[in-house]
Chains A and B, each alone.
Chain A
């Protein structure tokens, strides 16, 4: 028996699809106390168990689905799971955090995490209950959209299940395919869907009914009720549940950071049509929240006009920015259609928007022609061509096959000056904030541990208030603080960050809840130490996989340095390389990494990671003291 008392249920499920072996292992005290859960477990397991140079789409790659000690409990917004693997899109560490009902179902089935190894001979899915774990035939599901798959799974197993599934994009190994849960919630941007696909794993499904152990259940509930009252008393609460993240469209327009025409501009003429106000008044039909969610951000919206009438999809800021303004689409009905298609196919809306915008820009600049695009005339905002292109990408046909590799590889393939138009960091496409005039947000994208993603240090709104033009240590400290909290604390406790970031719920609540639930005594400082340790191990993973490191890997897209904005209040602005380098130097120093971004030996030692140092040296990485 595992020694953990509450929060964690104490078991990890390990499934080898190659030889169909199902094993249970005890959750060790070390893994629980030192790495907490979620992202902490994912990087620890991937570092320990993957050989350097593992093929992300080979059977040796491992897929981690991890909950945390607070996941699936009464803690506000605790319905999260982390899905992770070595990324086929970037070649480095890849993870995603998905709001779902899978987390509590896994825990109620008796498991904190699932590790999937090997590769099945034919399509399968995992069916997990307290009565046992089965590798089930998924031949009848292979080829189906994510929506069809979830409907079929519920027909067989009842409606009360938690699931993550992949669609045709994941099956066809599109490098930016994601997993989808409950009809339109996605996770695992760095191609976790393709890792599922490569393993011939269509879905992971759980239905549990066992109690989740909690040391002080009265306290956990009373603290959560307090938190609930605090959240609901916030004057922004009502607007939040009406619009969720969609209100960011209007904010981004005003701040001139709304990605437009492949991050060429920060303002979009038709932003009102795709904004939060319009959605809330005219398109939203239903709220959808994850497990225990007090701030449901799932805006189920239904198209009302034109040929896509009655199509519904779940809208969030990032999806609408990237499959809206960034590709020049200024109609909510069309944005809904594009989001629905992306979710059905299981392609990441952000990266999909980015590769399409990239292709349209190349076409509009005359760098590519109909010859390369298989006859498609690519124009901004032309939804029919975009749909045709999406079809090609997901089927990996012709031009679509190049784009299915993500913008970085597509740009390298086309060659010449084209990489200048590829908007990514480390191969992961940038999510929906333009940083021509936001050096701290650019640094946040540059140093995010999975490539350019907003999940970790979303400092943009702070930076706009603080002063974009400023270059100082405060900005670097803010990036690190946010990485600790958003990329660390919330990722290893595996709960949603929105109550804290949007409505100001004090972080001490999470410490108190953690202590009540697990019966341990943790402090915020200790959590931050663990967060920094996780960051350092993730960086070590990248360094190991890349056989060294260059600070250029931590640079934002070239476009922000080279092509200034031409519209809006910030016209003429671009990012300064000199300033960025200065911020990056300060960042490395604060993290205890050397000038090229490799953790110093002393830093590894501080975190008790000397074995990591040894392994890095073994593969020829020179570590500074």
Chain B
């Protein structure tokens, strides 16, 4: 499945992608409401930009299987198939958050629904904005 990937050798850790993600999905200036998280990690010897984002596991994803209300589903008729949510069904159990093997679904303190990457329904805005050209779609 196609999912977002960030090239750490190009990334600068500027978090423009996070802001654009939050703007696209929630229409706010608030990088903490992002589905793509960039973490610049340091040790005394090393420094590296890491990222966490939904790997688009497919129709059998653990999050979809474990959702107690069936709110999460696989949207296969989109430009690029992706994980999606039916907000009418979501009851904020957040089981998805705990079962995701990549820790790529998040709970935000001010939101009642989980935050995850839906590839902007096929037109990822983070990719469009990244000034470093670091964000790509990979299989």
Contacts and interface: CB of A to CB of B under 8 A. Distances in A.
B39 interface: yes
Contacts of B131: 228, 231-232, 294-295
Contact of A287 (B10, B19, B41): B10
Interface residues of B, number: 36
B14 A294 contact: yes
Given A74-B19, A151-B44, A286 B30 contact: no
Interface in B109-132: 109-110, 129, 131-132
A160 interface: yes
Interface string A154-174: 100001100000000000000
Contacts of B14: 79, 289-294, 296
B10 A208 contact: no
A232 B133 CA distance: 11
A288 interface: yes
Candidate in B8, B9, B23 with the most chain A CB atoms within 10 angstroms: B23
Interface string A479-520: 000000000000000000000000000000000000000000
Given A209-B32, A209-B108, A217 B23 contact: yes
Given A228-B129, A291-B14, A292-B14, A310 B45 contact: yes
B12 interface: yes
A159 B29 contact: no
B86 to A, nearest CB: 25
A211 B29 contact: yes
Candidate in B10, B19, B33 with the most chain A CB atoms within 10 angstroms: B19
A241 B132 contact: yes
B39 A160 contact: yes
Contacts of A291: 14-15
A286 B15 contact: no
Contacts of A293: 12, 14, 16
A343 interface: no
Interface of A: 73-74, 79, 101, 104, 108, 147-148, 150-151, 154, 159-160, 182-183, 208-214, 217, 220-221, 225, 228, 231-232, 241, 286-296, 298, 300, 310, 312
A73 B131 CA distance: 16
Q: Is chain B's interface secondary structure helix, strand, loop, or mixed overall?
A: loop
Contacts of A73: 19, 29
Candidate in B8, B14, B30, B132 with the most chain A CB atoms within 10 angstroms: B14
A54 to B, nearest CB: 37
Given A241-B132, A300-B47, A288 B40 contact: yes
A288 B42 contact: no
A600 to B, nearest CB: 43
Contacts of B15: 101, 104, 291-292
A210 B47 contact: no
A159 B12 contact: no
Nearest to B50: A159
A298 B12 contact: yes
A500 to B, nearest CB: 16
A294 B16 contact: yes
B24 to A, nearest CB: 9
A271 B134 CA distance: 32
Contacts of A292: 14-16, 19
Contacts of A150: 42
B29 A148 contact: no
A417 B30 CA distance: 57
B68 interface: no
Nearest to A208: B32
B48 interface: yes
B29 A212 contact: yes
Interface in B8-28: 8-16, 19-20, 23, 27-28
Contacts of A160: 32, 37, 39
Contact of B129 (A212, A214, A217, A225): A225
B31 interface: yes
Contacts of A182: 40, 42
Nearest to A73: B29
Contacts of A101: 15
Contacts of A310: 45
Candidate in A101, A211, A213 with the most chain B CB atoms within 10 angstroms: A211
Given A210-B30, A214-B29, A292-B19, A286 B44 contact: no
